[in-house]
Structure 1
Amino acid sequence: MLAAQILGIEGWQMALAMGIVLIGAATQASIGVGLGLMAAPTLSLIDPAFIPGALTLSIPPLVIGMAWRERQFIDRTIYRAVPARLLGSIAGAVLVATQGEDAVTIVIGLAVLLAVVASTTGLHFRPTLRNQLIAGTGSGFAGTVAGVGGPPMAITYQHSDPQVLRATLAIFNTIGLICFTLPSLVIAGVTGWREVQLACFLIPSVVAGLLVGKYTIAKLPPERVRPFVLVVCAASAVVVLTKTVV
């Protein structure tokens, strides 16, 4: 297989990577989050170059496609959370540099779990200005430190219409990826030609997942979206805590 000849990865491993990314992309296209959680652990075992560089490079077609597909449902007030995401990213980088990554990651994982538990007890998180700024900061912070930037904003929008949730998270992630995450990975020197090559194999799966998501959305009852979002957010926190503690 071409991948094995050029990139030093066995054909079956590349097929596995592409399959997992397809499933993760379809999940995210359906409920707004999920690709990173479902794909990152396996991709990192196949080849460390997949994470974060190659996977991050492959995500823009998904989030841009999601935002465009349901653009009429985007909550326009989300843009005020963008500067907060930048501040959170900077704060996360500084804190990791001064305090170490593990301790900060544990705090993030516990905070996400606490927010999920609070949501299940009847506490309603609404996308008010205050909550958007907090979630935006948390998204940038958690994404930089632990690679789980989705849950803070997903929890904030969990009670919104599923179309609003998906579209708003998609545009927020699009801006964050293009303006903050990708440039920072390039500047840090962790994204080079090999990551670009690997991303080229993942992008078709991402696009396929986006197309599959178009049909799963139609079959997914709106009342089921919120529970799925909370499960994915909780699972993200558990994965982060497990990787840090074990």
Structure 2
Amino acid sequence: MTIALAGLAVALGALVQGSVGFGIALVSAPLLAIIDPRLVPVPMLLLATTHAMLTLRREYRDADWTGVGWALLGRLPGIVIGVLAVAVLPPRWFGLAVAVVVLACVALSVVRWRPRPTVPALLLAGVVSGAAGTASAIGGPPVALLYQHAPGARVRATLAAYFVAGSLLSLTGLFVGGQFSADAVGAAAVMVPFLIAGFLLSGPVRRLLDHGWTRPAVLAMAGVGALALLGHVALG
């Protein structure tokens, strides 16, 4: 029963990320933390990396590789912050800070802020994303918000490229910090079939979103993810 529920959460997250460009951690991580806390953050990061590889293979020509490079440069110090947060800080306070920052960015975007993927913005987003992604497996919104006005394929491909490299860096940081284990790899492997099923189902949905619905989807997912993180903090 636990495997079925966790698999459903992963499949739903994979469907969302395959359509919008991010969301597997936003949708799946809070649910997995409730179903079985051992599935977060390392197994979730492994699944997110696998999904990003599938997306990148499908749409790699549309990626903003320069932007990915700057965001990854910012992610490096963010990973250090995230590893320290996992080891030292109460998870609920760190999660609360990340959720508040994301909600503030979403609110500003809706009202009047028009973020652009400039070098300073990408560096800052990389830092926040690296810290949040390493500590909670939810690192997509800070970078995704910068590309909310880009075409859907560019959003998905750029985030996929960023997630592949960024998640591997975060996993390395967790390994060095002693939070990586063979059990985590096994738990992620069990979820891979569900991940692939959700990814395949995302094909028709992404074609629908590409007709002017990408930005609303990005903002909605970022907001929902932040609220889910707040809920997880409250329950924890």
TM-score by length of 1: 0.87
Rounded to whole Å, the distance in 2 between the matches of 1:95 and 1:185 is 11
1:54 and 1:191 in contact (8 A); partners too: no
1:61 and 1:207 in contact (8 A); partners too: no
Quick one: which of 72, 76, 80 aligns to 1:90? 80
Partner of 1:191: 180
Which is worse superposed, 164-173 or 206-215?
A: 206-215
Quick one: which of 32, 36, 52 aligns to 2:41? 52
Query: What residue ranges of structure 2 are gaps of 5+ in the alignment?
Result: none
Change in Cα spacing, 1:206 to 1:159, as seen in structure 2 (3 Å) is same
Following superposition, the deviation at residue 99 of structure 1 comes to 6.0
Quick one: which of 127, 140, 143 aligns to 2:133? 143
Letter in 1 for 2:123: L
Following superposition, the deviation at residue 134 of structure 1 comes to 1.3
Q: Please show how residues 155-174 of structure 1 align to structure 2 within 5 Å.
A: 155-174=145-164
SS in structure 2 opposite 1:223? coil
1:118 aligns with 2:108: yes
Rounded to whole Å, the distance in 2 between the matches of 1:190 and 1:92 is 12
| Cα RMSD for the two superposed structures | 2.0
Partner of 1:127: 117
Larger Rg computed on CA atoms: 1
Query: What residue ranges of structure 1 are gaps of 5+ in the alignment?
Result: 1-11
Following superposition, the deviation at residue 230 of structure 1 comes to 0.9
- Note the alpha carbon deviations across 1:60-119, whole angstroms, 9 max, x for none: 221011112111101121212211101112134446766654444322221111100000
Change in Cα spacing, 1:15 to 1:104, as seen in structure 2 (3 Å) is closer
Rounded to whole Å, the distance in 2 between the matches of 1:36 and 1:66 is 15
Rounded to whole Å, the distance in 2 between the matches of 1:198 and 1:146 is 17
Partner of 2:229: 240
Change in Cα spacing, 1:97 to 1:47, as seen in structure 2 (3 Å) is closer
Rounded to whole Å, the distance in 1 between the matches of 2:116 and 2:33 is 35
Change in Cα spacing, 1:244 to 1:61, as seen in structure 2 (3 Å) is closer
Quick one: which of 9, 14, 37 aligns to 2:3? 14
Quick one: which of 167, 191, 201 aligns to 1:177? 167
Rounded to whole Å, the distance in 1 between the matches of 2:17 and 2:49 is 12
Name the % identity.
32
Rounded to whole Å, the distance in 2 between the matches of 1:45 and 1:92 is 21
Change in Cα spacing, 1:214 to 1:99, as seen in structure 2 (3 Å) is closer
Rounded to whole Å, the distance in 1 between the matches of 2:149 and 2:174 is 33
Which is worse superposed, 182-191 or 167-176?
A: 182-191
Rounded to whole Å, the distance in 2 between the matches of 1:129 and 1:217 is 28
SS in structure 1 opposite 2:138? coil
Quick one: which of 100, 107, 121 aligns to 2:97? 107
**Matched length:** 234
Partner of 2:17: 28
Quick one: which of 222, 225, 232 aligns to 2:214? 225
2:41 and 2:136 in contact (8 A); partners too: no
TM-score by length of 2: 0.90
- Note the alpha carbon deviations across 1:45-74, whole angstroms, 9 max, x for none: 332221112222222221011112111101
Rounded to whole Å, the distance in 2 between the matches of 1:106 and 1:17 is 24
2:10 and 2:191 in contact (8 A); partners too: yes
Quick one: which of 147, 152, 166 aligns to 2:142? 152
Quick one: which of 203, 206, 212 aligns to 1:214? 203
